[in-house]
A = this chain, B = another copy of it.
Amino acid sequence: MDTKGRYQHLTYTDWTVRETQFEPDQFRYRETVFTIGNGYLGTRGSFEEGYSQASPATFIHGVYDEVPIVYTELANCPDWLPFTINIDGDRFRLEKGEILSYERKLDLRQGILSRSVRWRSPNNQIIDIHFERFANLADEQVLALRCQLTPVDFAGAIEIQASINGYPENQGFNHWELLDQGKTEAGVWLNLRTRSSRIQLGIATSIKISGAEASLQVTSPPGYPTLIASFLASPGQTVTVDKLVTVFTSKHVENPVATACEKLVQLPEYSFIIKTHSQAWEEVWQKSDIVIEGDVTAQLAVRYNLFQLLIAASRNNDQVSIPAKTLSGFGYRGHIFWDTEIFILPLFIYTQPEIARNLLTYRYHTLPGARRKAVHYGYKGAMYAWESADTGDEVTPRWLPPNDPYGEDIRIWCRDREIHISTDVVYAVWYYWQATNDDEWMRDYGAEIFLDTAVFWSSRVEYNTKHERYEIREVIGADEYHEFVHNNAFTNRLVQWHFEKALYIYDWLYKTFPDKAIELEDKLLLSIGRRSRWSDIITNIWIPYDESTGLIEQFEGFFQLQDINLEEYEPRTKSIQAILGIEEGNKRQVLKQPDALMLLYLMRQSQEPPYNPHTLQANWDYYAPRTDISYGSSLGPAIHAILASDLGKTAQAYERFMQAALVDLENVRGNAPEGIHGASAGGIWQAVVLGFGGIQMGDSEPIAHPHLPPGWTRLKFKLIWRGKWHEFDLGNGEWGQGDQGAGSRDRGNS
C-alpha cells in the first residue's frame, strides 16, 4: 500500500517516534506501532479513553486458548487501559469535540508511551490531557498509567473512571470466563479463566489522585470493575491520576488473583516505579543498542525494530518463544515460526545470550509435540511444527475457510511440507553454542534437539535407486510460492549440514559427557548403524547445484517452469500470488522470498559450501529479479539488503534495508495493523551488524568488514562472543572491506 503523502507521517528523532496529528485512517496500524511491553506482556497502542475503530490488545506470553481451525491462539487478555474522563457531562473521546493540539510519542530509550491533547469539549470547555504509560521492565507484572488533567479555561467538576475491561476479544472471540471480581482497600480486582486451556488470570488496579480533593467510588458491573473519582478542577491547575495495575496468571503463580491483590498493596509510588523501569531499560540498551550517525531515519528505525524485539522476548520464562507478530497483534494468532530462530535470534545470541537460551529452551520443552507430529506423519524422532504454540504440536491451520458459501476451501500445506523448520531450529542451536560455548546447555537441551531432529530426517529422506542419491520429495522450501516440490536445494543442503553438525555434536558429547551420550542413545534409540547412515546421507544427498556456473536450481525442474518478468506487473499494490492465483504462481519462476539466496545467506555465516562470492553473484543475478520482494514475504528485504551490500550494490542494499526497517513504522505493506513484523525486525539487526558492519565470527573473536550505506558516518554497537564483550565503532570510507578487526576493542565479560 503506497500511503506516502496521503497522511501526516510519523516523525523521528534518535530515540523517539512521534505522531503529531490524529488521523483516524491510520489508527489501526498506529495501534501496532505504539505497542509497549516488557517481555512478559505486550499492549497495543490503543487509546485509554476508547475509540470506535480501536482494536485494543494485551497478550501475555504462553496464555493460549483453543479456537477452531487454527487450534490455539494467544488469548487477548483483559484490557488494563480503560480510563475515561467526564467534563461537565462530556466524555472525552477523539470522535467528539475539537482537537486543538495533539502529540503522541513513544520514547524507545525508556519504553514509555505518552500523549498530549488539548481538547475543546462539545460544551466548549478546553482542557489539557496528558497520558503516559509503560509496562514495567523492572517488575514485569506491574503496569502503570498516568493521566494529568489541566483545565485551560474553566473550573468545574471532572469525573474519571479507571477500569479493567474483562471482555477482551480476539477478533470477536472472548476467551475468558468470568470467575469472580471484587474490591479491596487498595482497589478492585477481576478473576478470569480461559475457556479451554483453563488458565486463570488475576488482575487488580488502584488509582491515586494528587492535585485535588477527590471522592472515590467503586462500581462493579460484571467483568468491568471500575474505580470512579470526582474532583473539582481550576484553570491552570493540574490534577494527576496514577493508575497502577498488577496481573498474574496460573502459568506463573498458584493463586493469581490473590498474588495480584497482594502485589498491588505493596506497590511503591508511580515516580519510583518509573525510575526503576527506566534503569532497567538503560541496562538493556547498554547491551543491545546500535548507534548510527548521519541518517536519523535509519537510526530511529533500527532502534524501533530492536525495541519491538526487546519487549517481545521473555527474560524469565523458557517455556515461551516470540510469535511471528510478537505480542503486538492478532496476525498468525501468536503462533511461532522459523522467524524466531533464523531471523530474530542473532540479536539475542550476540547481545543478550541468556534470552537466546530461553528462546531455544522453548524448543526443548516442545520436543514432545514435535515427536507427536513425527508419529502422526509416520516418521521417527522429532519433527517440529511449522506453526508452534504452547505444546509444540502442529497448529498450522489445514484450511483457509471461505466466507462465500460457495467459495473453495484453500488447503494450506505448510504443516505437511514446510519441513525445513526442524533444521532452522538446530541452525540456531548451533550458532548459539558457537557464540556462547554454553556446553552445559548443549548437553542438557541442545544435543537432544539436534539428535532427535536428525533421527527425523533420517526417516524422512528417501533413497532414489535409479539416480543413486538421497532425495527429499514433496516439500515447500523457503519460497512459499511453490507448494509441492522435490529436492529443494535450500532444504536438502540444510539437512546435509544438519547431519554434519549432528555427527560433530554426537562425537563431542561422547568425548565430553559420555554419560549423557549414552543416556541419549538409549532415549532416542541411536545406534552405530544409524550414525553410518547419517554419514551416507551427507555423502549422497542430492543438491541441485551446477558447480561450473555456480547456479543453484531452486528445486528439481525449477528452470523448466515458465519464466516471468516482474517489471511487467508494475506498478502493483499486491503480491504476485494475489495477482496470478496460487496455481499459476506454482507454475512460474517467481519467488515469494529468497530460497537459493537464503541458503547462501545461511551458509555465508561460516563460509560453507555452496557459499562463495562466485555462487552468490550467479544466484543473485538469477533469483533477485524473480523475487516478489515488495509484496511477497516480509522476510525477504533484509536478506536481500545484506547480499546486495556484499555484492557492492549499495543503493539497492539501502533501499531493501529501509523497506524492511519501515515496514511497520510506515505500514509499507499495508498489513501493520495485524502486528509487528518480527522476522523483518530481526533481519534489520542482521543487516546492520552482519551486513553493513560485515561482522564475521573468527575463531577467537568477531571481526568487522564494514561497508556502510552512503551517509552513515558512524556505526557503533557491541557484541558478546564466548563471554567477552566486543565494541565496534565503525566509520564509512575509513575502512575498506578487507580491514579486519576494525574497531573491535575487547572489554571483557560485563
Contacts and interface: CB of A to CB of B under 8 A. Distances in A.
A357 interface: no
A167 B223 contact: yes
B405 A395 contact: yes
Interface string A63-103: 00010110100000000001010000000000000000000
Contact of A173 (B52, B172, B177): B172
A394 B169 CA distance: 28
Contacts of A376: 406
A405 B224 CA distance: 34
B167 A71 contact: no
Contacts of A409: 398-399
A226 interface: yes
Interface string A399-410: 101010110010
Nearest to A222: B50
A215 B608 CA distance: 81
B66 A222 contact: no
Interface in A403-441: 403, 405-406, 409
When all copies of this chain in the complex are counted, the total is: 2
Contacts of A165: 221-222
A221 B406 contact: no
Contact of A221 (B68, B163, B401): B163
A173 B170 CA distance: 9
Most chain-B CB neighbours within 10 Å: which of A178, A224, A372? A224
A221 B175 contact: no
**Most chain B beta-carbon neighbours within 10 Å: one of A167, A178, A373:** A167
A405 B50 contact: no
A50 B221 CA distance: 11
Chain B CB within 10 Å, residue with most, of A69, A178, A398, A405: A405
A491 interface: no
A84 B221 CA distance: 9
Interface in A157-190: 161, 163, 165, 167, 169, 172-175, 177-179
A195 interface: yes
Given A172-B174, A172-B195, A174-B169, A71 B405 contact: yes
Describe A's contact surface by its main secondary structure. loop
Nearest to A372: B406
A480 interface: no
A92 to B, nearest CB: 13
A403 B66 contact: yes
A242 interface: no
A142 to B, nearest CB: 24
Nearest to A224: B221
A373 B173 contact: no
Contacts of A221: 82, 161, 163, 165, 219, 221, 224, 226
A376 B372 CA distance: 40
A393 interface: yes
Report the interface size class on chain A. Answer: 35 or more
A730 B457 CA distance: 79
Contacts of A393: 405-406
A165 to B, nearest CB: 7
B403 A71 contact: yes
Interface in A18-36: none
Contact of A82 (B82, B174, B195, B222): B222
A158 to B, nearest CB: 16
Contacts of A226: 219, 221
A373 B175 CA distance: 35
Most B-side CB within 10 Å, residue of A82, A84, A173? A173
Contact of A174 (B167, B372, B395, B401): B167
Nearest to A375: B406
A326 to B, nearest CB: 23
Interface in A369-388: 372-373, 376
A713 to B, nearest CB: 50
Nearest to A180: B52
Contacts of A195: 172
A394 B398 CA distance: 22
Interface string A206-241: 000000000000010111101010000000000000
Contacts of A228: 219
Given A219-B221, A226-B219, A405 B394 contact: yes
A228 B403 CA distance: 43
Contact of A399 (B167, B219, B223, B399): B399
Contact of A401 (B69, B169, B173, B372): B69
Contacts of A399: 399, 401, 409
A116 to B, nearest CB: 23
Nearest to A86: B220
A385 to B, nearest CB: 8
Given A222-B224, A376-B406, A398-B401, 19 more contacts: A52-B178, A52-B179, A68-B68, A69-B69, A82-B221, A82-B222, A84-B222, A167-B223, A172-B173, A173-B174, A219-B226, A219-B228, A224-B224, A373-B406, A393-B406, A395-B405, A398-B409, A399-B399, A399-B401
24 contacts: A52-B177, A66-B403, A68-B403, A69-B401, A71-B403, A71-B405, A82-B221, A163-B221, A165-B221, A165-B222, A167-B167, A172-B173, A173-B173, A173-B174, A221-B224, A222-B224, A223-B224, A373-B405, A373-B406, A393-B405, A398-B409, A399-B399, A399-B401, A399-B409
State the 4 A-B residue pairs at the shortest beta-carbon distance, nearest first: A376-B406, A167-B167, A221-B224, A393-B405
